[in-house]
Amino acid sequence: MTGGYDERCAADLANVCEGRELAREDRAWLARAVTGAVRPNRDRPLWDLAHALAALARLTRAGAGRDLVTLVLDPQLARAEALRARFAEAGTATGTADARGLVLQGDAEGWRTTWSGLARLLALAEFVLTAEDLAHFSALSGWLDELVSAPGPEGAAFLAKRLARHLAAYRNAHLPLAPLERRFRAILGFLDGRRAFTDDDILGFWQAEMGGDERPGFRTVAEHFVTFEAVSALLGDLEGLAAAASLDAVEGWEDRLDASLGDLAVEPAESLAVLLAGIGDAPKILTGAERDDLADLLRLEPFHRTRPLTTLRAASFGRVQSGLANRLRRGGGGAEIAERVTCAEAETYRALADRVAALAAHLDRMLRIAAALRVPADAEGLEPEVRGALAAALTDLRRVRRAGFDDPDRVTAGFAAADAALLRLADEIGRLGRALAGLAGERPLEAAFTADRAIFARTLAEAYAAEAA
């Protein structure tokens, strides 16, 4: 387990995201609320949730916890506009809402949230209620019964504490964060206060970690650096985050943090897996091998643009290492350990660069076909060369020898569904190609590969010495 979550948690979250058709930003917020990536207090969303439920109980004059459950599980109430339409008027009349959102009057200033904030909190409520395949649904419904019987700030605070304990137990069971935290602490120690790092820092850190018991994959370590780079770029002084640690956080600071974390957490959601899923299998615009290559080369987004050397290392030697790990897990199959650690089978950087070029050429060809299918060659106002290119692409289409390309209707439909994803993929693979060209200009790929192979072979041989013997 290197991702920090288990299948159950991914399924629990997917159920809520799908059922409510959450936008990316809201999915990101929910994922952060679940993992606890909220500062200054990771239980703040639960505090807000408990107050929102108390305010809703007052507003709707809920008679029992089940009335709140019905509001939480109603997919019609997943959006801010729907919540405003349903509750703003009645809430204003009773002092539990205004045009901006929900209000819970209490001592001093009271508590409030916006309608879009409420939409997010209800998604969190659904997650908590339905998690672990409803294992705690009854208990939580009972807590809501208690809240409904006294829906004030005190009841809300009590529920918030219960929910915080509950989610902490859930995190213990389904979010193995401790190994991740150890690794990030080690990265912070390795960089010794630096925020900037080089490709060789990543390699050096991986080598150091390979001396320990965990023997993490080079790709896994590189993924940690992706997160580290993204977080430190957005938040700058990570130290400052630890300072304020109470619920009475400075107003505004949290929103700024939330906005930047939201952007950060959102970014991989539209990543490769989604793009590849967007390209159907009929016609076969991409073969299985091409998909695997794209996934392998682009998985460390954004490093394929910014750190081509780490991308090559992960693709070439990362594959050797996962082969080793798989063989150890299976207890056999394929080449011997002693043979694998020499990295004799590692794909050279030159060969990888050639494959990137071939993928770029193929994606470009498919894009031309997509354009030709979308724009009729006799459309008005086309430049003669564009017209020629479109006609050439249509001729080229007939030359493609792949499954499904002989059926014009499927080809038209398949490309129409895929062209946005194709464009993104072609763009990204083109950027990797340019980054690799830049790298080759500084240092011949052959020399870089030979030097790296010596390092990886030595490190793997030492780390797997016991198994290789």
Partner 1 sequence: MSDDAAGLLAEIHAARGLLRATARAAPSPARAHPGIAALWAHAIREPGAAVDLAVVRAIRTDPDTARRYRTLLAAQAVAHAPLAAAAADGRIASRRIGAFTLEFLDGMAEGPPLLVIRGENPRPPRIIEVILADDAVRVALPEPIAGAILLALDPAVPDVVRLGAMLRNPASAAFLL
Binding stretches for partner 1 (CB under 8 A): 3-5, 9-11, 13-15, 17-19, 27-28, 31-32, 34-37, 39, 42, 64-66, 69-70, 73-75, 126, 130, 133-134, 137-138, 141-142, 175, 177, 180-185, 188-189, 193, 223-224, 227-228, 231, 238-239, 241-242, 261, 264-271, 273-274, 277
- Using CA atoms, how far apart are residues 75 and 19, in angstroms rounded to an integer? 7
Pick between residue 70 and residue 198 the one whose CB is nearest to partner 1.
Answer: 70
In angstroms, give the least distance from the CB of 94 to partner 1. Answer: 24
Residues near 308 by Cβ (< 8 Å), separated by ≥ 6? 432, 435, 436, 438, 439
In angstroms, give the least distance from the CB of 45 to partner 1. Answer: 13
Burial of 440 (0-12, 13-18, 19+ CB in 10 A): middle
Are the beta carbons of 104 and 57 closer than 8 angstroms? Answer: no
Pick between residue 217 and residue 433 the one whose CB is nearest to partner 1.
Answer: 217
Nearest to 448 by CA among 334, 342, 316, 336: 316
Pick between residue 225 and residue 449 the one whose CB is nearest to partner 1.
Answer: 225
- Using CA atoms, how far apart are residues 228 and 32, in angstroms rounded to an integer? 16
At which residue do the structure tokens 């859930």 appear? Answer: 170
Q: Two tokens at 184? A: 């990030």
In angstroms, give the least distance from the CB of 370 to partner 1. Answer: 20
Q: Where are the alpha helices (DSSP H) in 236-307?
A: 253-266, 272-278, 288-298, 303-306
Pick between residue 60 and residue 130 the one whose CB is nearest to partner 1.
Answer: 130
Nearest to 68 by CA among 128, 11, 132: 128
- Using CA atoms, how far apart are residues 272 and 291, in angstroms rounded to an integer? 10
In angstroms, give the least distance from the CB of 300 to partner 1. Answer: 12
Nearest to 118 by CA among 156, 154, 161, 87: 87
In angstroms, give the least distance from the CB of 317 to partner 1. Answer: 22
In angstroms, give the least distance from the CB of 89 to partner 1. Answer: 24
Pick between residue 92 and residue 141 the one whose CB is nearest to partner 1.
Answer: 141
Nearest to 96 by CA among 33, 44, 156: 156
In angstroms, give the least distance from the CB of 254 to partner 1. Answer: 13
Pick between residue 85 and residue 274 the one whose CB is nearest to partner 1.
Answer: 274
Pick between residue 27 and residue 313 the one whose CB is nearest to partner 1.
Answer: 27
